[in-house]
Amino acid sequence: MDEKQHHDVIIIGAGAAGLSAGLVLTRARADVLLIDAGQPRNAPAEHMHGFVSRDGMPPLDFLAAGRAEIASYGGRFLAASVVAIERSADASFGVTFADGTAQTCRAILVATGLVDELPDIRGVAERWGTLVHHCPYCHGHEVREQKIAVIGGPQREMSLKQAGLIRRYSDSVTLITNGIDLTPAELIRLTAFGVAVEHGFVSGLTGAPGSLDAIELTDGSAVTSDAAFIAPRQAPRDALLRSLGCQTDPATGLVGADGSGQTSVPGVWAAGNVVTPTAQVITAAGAGSATAIVINGWLLQQDLDAASVARPQ
Ligand SMILES: Cc1cc2nc3c(=O)[nH]c(=O)nc-3n(C[C@H](O)[C@H](O)[C@H](O)COP(=O)(O)OP(=O)(O)OC[C@H]3O[C@@H](n4cnc5c(N)ncnc54)[C@H](O)[C@@H]3O)c2cc1C
């Protein structure tokens, strides 16, 4: 257990966003505690792509490198799940962990990411991140020239975009509609672009563990596939932000944060997938960095105010 109980900043979530903020803040000599529950979103993937200079690095190696850098500047880590945040009368925050213990801080950064709600299709969960993907930019290049199925889902526009984007990587792309009703224009555009369209519902994925042979349909047919793409619902882990009263954006339903990560509640910032589900690792890290600089400026203003009040006139 960390022996110091009060900190300048508590960062909840030590993924790309939280770690990047932690690095900036510890280098700025802030007292920072990073708390993480050990469930980074991309953990199922063997390799991380699209982060310049880190392309192909295993996601857990990336996180370990970030932790080591922060620790070298004095940042501290706690393996725990935060269950509540409360504002104290003196405007500091109390952060409570699942084991009932608590610590306090002047500023909060919530970088808790999101949960991909996988469809209840047999064979998807165990292949998620290795043979079943969602992001062409992350793993499209790795499955180039393979037989690729795009399984339609609740995020209709994302499924259609996947089918088009994936076609650039392979001459063998099949969109299995799985509940999506294509307009005649959409059907013409996709098929003209070389995407095969199967109208039907998926019953399961087949293949030995660690491999994929085919996508089975409820009518008994099958689409031979080496890899699949799906578009799961994405649920931001924003319960802590909502419990603090952070306002949501009426257009998106997401907790709102401005370009510097500031929420509607003073002293509370948010960065990464928790407020920006589309953020990649590099953009989540960038948001964490930008937010950290603003938090540090805010801490400075507090310190200047306190110093001037304390100074004898
Ligand atoms: C399978 C897969 C592969 C991907 N591959 C790539 C890729 O190749 N390249 C790319 O750019 N992007 C990729 N992504 C997207 C990438 O995962 C996200 O962009 C990135 O993880 C966002 O970082 P984050 O810091 O916002 O969230 P996360 O990395 O998810 O970190 C959030 C952290 O907060 C912690 N946490 C949550 N709630 C609490 C709590 N209450 N208390 C304490 N800790 C908490 C979690 O345990 C987690 O460690 C992939 C996504 C998936 C699903």
The yes-or-no verdict on residue 3 having pLDDT over 80 is no
Residue ranges around ligand 1 (CB below 6 Å): 12-18, 35-42, 44-45, 48-51, 81-82, 111-113, 116, 129, 135, 138, 237, 272-273, 279-282, 284
**How confident is the model at residue 102, as a pLDDT?**
96
Dist. CA 40 → ligand 1 center (Å): 4
Atom of ligand 1 nearest to the CA of 133: 1
Atom of ligand 1 nearest to the CA of 36: 44
The yes-or-no verdict on residue 229 having pLDDT over 70 is yes
Separation of alpha carbons 166 and 172, rounded Å:
9
Question: Mean per-residue pLDDT for 271-298?
Answer: 98
Atom of ligand 1 nearest to the CA of 17: 25
What confidence tens digit (pLDDT) does each residue in 50-88 have? Answer: 999 999 999 999 999 999 999 999 999 999 999 999 998
> What residue ranges define each of the domains in the chain, with the CATH number in brackets?
6-116+233-310 (3.50.50.60), 119-229 (3.50.50.60)
